Amino acid sequence: MSQPVNRVFSGVQPTGNLHLGNYLGAITRFVEMQRSHDCIYCVVDLHAITQDRAVWGGPERLAHSTYEVTAAFLAAGIDPTKHIVFNQSRVPEHAELAWIFNCIARLGWLNRMTQFKEKAGKDRENASVGLFAYPNLMAADILAYRATHVPVGDDQKQHLELTRDIAQKFNNDFADSIRDAGYEDGFFPLPEPLIVGPATRVMSLRDGAAKMSKSDPSDLSRINLRDDADQIAKKIRKARTDPEPLPSETAGLAERPGAANLVGIFAALAGCSQDKVLSEFGGAQFSVFKPALAELAVEKLSPIGAEMNRLMADKAAIDEVLKDGAERAHAIAEPIYREVRKIVGFLV
Ligand code: AQP
């Protein structure tokens, strides 16, 4: 079994409304990667249930969100006929490989994960074991396909480093049987994180120090992909900024997180640099800049929201895409996991 050289894997949790951060930080990259790579994009439903039920909303909501994330993938331009789109729980190799990785990763490694600390909050004793082991499942998601590249937002950097550590330790721990099985350079690749583009960390509209997030209780903190034009305009109008006009150069955005966030969003949506935005809007008040940003956001997001609404009217068609994708994903993961079982010493 030869090592793929350009296989992309990434996922999005069906935990609620997809927002501008997911779109700019991840989904637009997913779309671009299709031009140069074989891509596998996953709605990671097993990950969604690691959080409190209040966050993912219970069974009906989970199914709805799974359709919705898939609709966002398709509406944004992911082609499920040329690439693979599926939901994680339909391919059992993710959970099975994750168990092996639970036995490879060290407690000390997981104890350092900042996302667990943030999501578990103060009541860590009450967090699920799944939330703690989340990065091992994420490593399994990627390595079940021996994927080489993983486009993600900045918040996932630490988990990607852990994935590489797990791959490396597996390759070391089983070096002999890996070599006996005919693999000269280890079995798992060390996947490259692709944290690129102008908006790898979009911040909350209510708090420039916090990441825009699906689970933020304030809907005003984020622009959802299915928000209508009035909602988008209202959220941008109410975005927390400061009373100063915009600076003419990006250096002037330091210490101004609210302003920096809006300029970053403008640049990402317009496909230009922040310098270019400030060359046009430097010296302008937010009363001028915010309506211009709202107009741009509506222009770029409305077609996606409209297409998502259209796709959501036929959930059976979305499910066909997911089932077909799961079969094709399974066809890749099954022989890889079979090799893993042999390498570990399980009877196959
Ligand atoms: N604010 C963001 N800016 C840029 N990229 C982001 N991503 C998430 N938030 C931002 C990227 O979107 C992809 C999918 O994220 P996810 O749904 O799997 O998990 P998450 O990072 O936990 O996203 P949320 O929205 O913050 O969800 P909750 O509230 O459930 O925790 C990832 O590539 C992520 O980096």
pLDDT tens column, 21-41: 999 999 999 999 999 999 999
Cα 265 to middle of ligand 1, angstroms: 16
Ligand 1 closest atom vs CA 56: 30
Cα 149 to middle of ligand 1, angstroms: 18
0.85 exceeded by pTM: yes
Ligand 1 closest atom vs CA 47: 18
Structure-derived torsion over alpha carbons of residues 75, 12, 162, 174, reported in degrees to the nearest 10: -90
Cα separation, 142 vs 189, whole angstroms: 10
What is the pLDDT, as a whole number, of residue 198? 82
The residue assigned the tokens 């809007």 is: 281
Integer CA distances (angstroms), 107 to 101, 113, 114, in order: 12, 10, 14
Residue to mutate, 9, 10, 13, 224, ligand 1, most ligand atoms under 8 Å from C-beta:
13
Question: What is the CA 187 to chain-centroid distance, rounded?
Answer: 25
Residue to mutate, 22, 152, 194, 265, ligand 1, most ligand atoms under 8 Å from C-beta:
22
Give the residue whose CA is nearest to atom 26 of ligand 1: 213
Cα 41 to middle of ligand 1, angstroms: 14
What is the pLDDT, as a whole number, of residue 2? 72
DSSP for residue 224: B
Question: Cα Rg for the chain, rounded, in angstroms?
Answer: 21
- Inter-residue contact 227 to 294 (CB < 8 Å): no
DSSP for residue 24: I
| Burial status of residue 106 (CB atoms within 10 A of its CB: 0-12, 13-18, 19 or more) | exposed
| Burial status of residue 154 (CB atoms within 10 A of its CB: 0-12, 13-18, 19 or more) | middle
| Residues of the chain under the 50 pLDDT cut | none
Q: Which residues pair with 10 in a beta bridge?
A: 41
Element (DSSP H or E) covering residue 114: helix 114-120
DSSP for residue 23: I
Ligand 1 closest atom vs CA 119: 31
Cα separation, 339 vs 335, whole angstroms: 6
Nearest-5° Cα angle at 268, 262 to 272: 110
Give the residue whose CA is nearest to atom 35 of ligand 1: 153
Nearby residues of 269 by Cβ (< 8 Å), 6 or more positions away: 24, 293, 296, 297, 300
Question: Could you give all domains of the chain from N- to C-terminal order, each with its CATH number?
Answer: 7-200+315-344 (3.40.50.620), 219-310 (1.10.240.10)
- Kindly state the tokens that stand for 308: 């998502």
What is the pLDDT, as a whole number, of residue 113? 97
What is the pLDDT, as a whole number, of residue 126? 95
Integer CA distances (angstroms), 231 to 40, 86, 235, 262, 306, in order: 32, 30, 6, 16, 14
Which residues, judged by CB distance below 6 Å to any ligand atom, belong to the binding site of ligand 1?
12-13, 15, 21-22, 25-26, 152-153, 155-156, 200-202, 211-215
Ligand 1 closest atom vs CA 212: 1
What is the pLDDT, as a whole number, of residue 106? 98
The residue assigned the tokens 């994935």 is: 163
Cα 175 to middle of ligand 1, angstroms: 35
Integer CA distances (angstroms), 211 to 4, 52, 154, 202, 296, in order: 34, 19, 10, 6, 21
The residue assigned the tokens 């959501």 is: 312
Cα 155 to middle of ligand 1, angstroms: 7
What are the catalytic residues?
Answer: 119, 211, 214
Backbone phi, psi, residue 205, to 5°: -75, -15
What is the pLDDT, as a whole number, of residue 270? 96
Residue to mutate, 155, 163, 219, 261, ligand 1, most ligand atoms under 8 Å from C-beta:
155
Cα 12 to middle of ligand 1, angstroms: 7
Give the residue whose CA is nearest to atom 24 of ligand 1: 213
Cα 215 to middle of ligand 1, angstroms: 10
Ligand 1 closest atom vs CA 44: 18
Give the residue whose CA is nearest to atom 15 of ligand 1: 12
